[in-house]
A and B are shown apart, each in its own frame.
Chain A
Amino acid sequence: MTTLSEAPAETKKPAASGIMAMVRHTQYVLAENPVTAGSFALFVAFLIAAILGPSIVPYDPLASNTMAALQAPSAQHWFGTDQLGRDIFSRVIVATRLDMTIAIASVVLVFILGGFAGIAAGFYGGWTDRIIGRISDTIMAFPLFVLAMGIVAALGNTVTNIVVATAIINFPLYARLARSEANIRREAGFVHAARLSGNSDPRILLCFILPNIMPLMMVQISLTMGYAILNAAGLSFIGLGVRPPTPEWGIMVAEGAAFIVSGEWWIAFFPGVALMLAVFCFNLLGDGLRDIVDPQRRT
């Protein structure tokens, strides 16, 4: 790993101005594209909620107060209260951290697993490609949500297992994308040139091919983030994964669903809106991220 650190050290000087260029470029992308700017703002809001959530909410998300059960949205309880009198606004905000953690952890996991497997498959071809390709095919052969249910049911009802299940069902997406992108670049001139400079194959994969397929992977990351949130909420909704009384959007929708018929719509509505906004935000963010990461767009 000592050799790895040399190359960045050399570019430290341009990197300083590079950061400034990056900031300017980000500003440009956001100014040019109001939708990206909007989703970016939403993302920042979600981040703040995830980090500061428990310390800024007005009520304890777990404290029940039967005196104030099933109250409609009011100045006191913005999003109303549920059947146990818990403040829904506080619960929605606090749940952000858990949902985000699941989404980010699973995406990081699948990015590492799927991304590297895919790059190796595309670069080496042959048996590596065949084995990784067949693993992807096998996963794709199942209805993905059912597969996730099966994995969580078999491994046990924990947050870790939700993360693992979400990562596994997204594996083929990453592996295939990385494979095709690496495959195109396998014979590119700069890869040959890297070999001529004396770089070994693993080094070429890490330092030459991976950075070049990052823009596309970023878009994929953003898209699967939304999907991962939906997946985690879905699992909780059907009773797998996170368990009550933990505040989590999926459970809250599930709990509120029974009250919709009797007119207490707010219990399911607000966590549902949060869920929708999160998915929406990540999908829109994908486009903007690609523009920010791609050096060719930077002039």
Chain B
Amino acid sequence: MSRDMIVPLESYRLARYVVPIPCYVCGEDNIFDAEYCRHCLAPMALAHQAASQKVQPRMVAAVGATAVGKTVFLGMLIDMLSRQPERVQLMARGAFSITLQQSTMAALARCQFPQKTPNEPDRWNWVHCELRRSRREVPLDLIVPDMAGEAIFEEVEHPRSYRVITAYLKKCAGAMILVDAVGLQEASSDHEYFAMKLISYLVELNEEGKPGWSRRPVALIFTKADQCEECLADPGAFAKSHASRLWQLCQERFAFHRFFASGVAGACAWRQTRRDGRVHMPLRVEPVGIVEPFLWLLERIETRRSRSK
């Protein structure tokens, strides 16, 4: 063995791992090149993007039971806002923020609903976007994940089973709770009970130094309202008549809440296919009530923000 051997010392590389990067959602430390938080599995891109700007992004949750239409609602919302600069100008931050919009619109264009969202948080779509109203100068950064209904259910039933949901909902500035209008019309109480559980869960979530959920704005959105005209006409009255327990709970628990109705498909049908079995398909795309709940929520968040200043 030669004594003149040169051993390159590249220990400086290790130094990069010494500086931890906190996850934007759960706040736990991660190494600088992690793609997902190793504690909650939220994308670390959010932390890197947040670190590069002065104003911290706000978070808004879209929650509801499985198959209630969260993915379709969020995908359509992002698509509509990105097409309507005269109302609110939405710009995606990061390529990953466009995936939800892309997959939803591609599926609807094929007369299909988007596929079921997997339970695994590292396979969820996250949207980080910049919102700017024409009359405002300072843009608002928002983060919205498309969470799986089953994961939300598990978290509600067994708190902290999904760290990402616990941490995210603690930090959220507001929420959109989606409830299946068709289920309520058919007198199925499961949807109402789930929404009630969700509200009870939210109210119990408190983070130190932040106002509880009773002071945060909550939009209750009846989805699939295109199949339920009564709901579309007056969502508040529909809630009072078809989900009275939910309506009552909201009155007691939330200072700022409002009922909305939304729909994406103008009409739906069932189709039997060899590849996918019996599939529910939208016959046409007629979005209704998509942007309104979001704009209302945005208005309330902005109001709270300006008051807190």
Tell whether A pairs with B.
no
